[in-house]
Amino acid sequence: MDVGSVRVGVALSDPDGLLATPLVTVPRDGRSAAAVAALADEHDVVGVVVGLSRTLAGREGAAAEAARAFVAELEPVLAVPVELSDERLTTVVATRQLRESGRKGRRRREVVDQVAAVGILQGWLDTHR
């Protein structure tokens, strides 16, 4: 997942854990954790990976604090483990990919968090394969 201040991008891997694909964007509000837990149940997930934003120097800022706070909301309502994964520049890369594919403005904002979530999950899958 890519946790933002407005939206949470969610990606899912195939059953073999080889390929991440975008799933949905969940609004970031008081019901986000419950919505994600429902998605986890619906798709029979075995674990959740949440991106932890760090600076290039490796420090954590407000975005990392927000991700940790979301994990604290999420863990009590999930029946599977949650793991934080370094996600430096995933949103920047996702935005560039969408711009290069021709997506503009609002259409890009609607899916950028999903594309960033794919990058986070794919990186995690590749590292843990």
Positions of E strands within 2-129: 2-3, 7-13, 20-27, 48-52, 82-86
- The burial class, CB within 10 Å (0-12 / 13-18 / 19+), for 54 is middle
* 30 vs 92: which has the higher pLDDT: 30
The domain that holds 18 is classified in CATH as 3.30.420.140
Residue range 48-57, pLDDT digits in tens: 999 998 877 7
- Do β-strands 7-13 and 20-27 pair in parallel, antiparallel, or remain unpaired? antiparallel
The model carries a pTM of: 0.85
Domains identified in the chain, total number: 1
Contact 21, 120 (CB under 8 A): no
Q: Tell me the mean pLDDT in the region 113-124.
A: 90
**pLDDT attached to residue 104:** 67
Give the chain's length. Answer: 129
CA distance 92 to 14: 25
Residue range 74-93, pLDDT digits in tens: 999 999 999 999 886 676 66
CA distance 95 to 93: 5
Residue with tokens 């370094």: 86
Range of 109's domain? Answer: 2-128
pLDDT confidence bin for 117, thresholds 50/70/90: very high
pLDDT at residue 35 above 80? yes
Residue 71 tokens read as: 């994990």
pLDDT confidence bin for 105, thresholds 50/70/90: low
Q: Which amino acid is at 49?
A: V
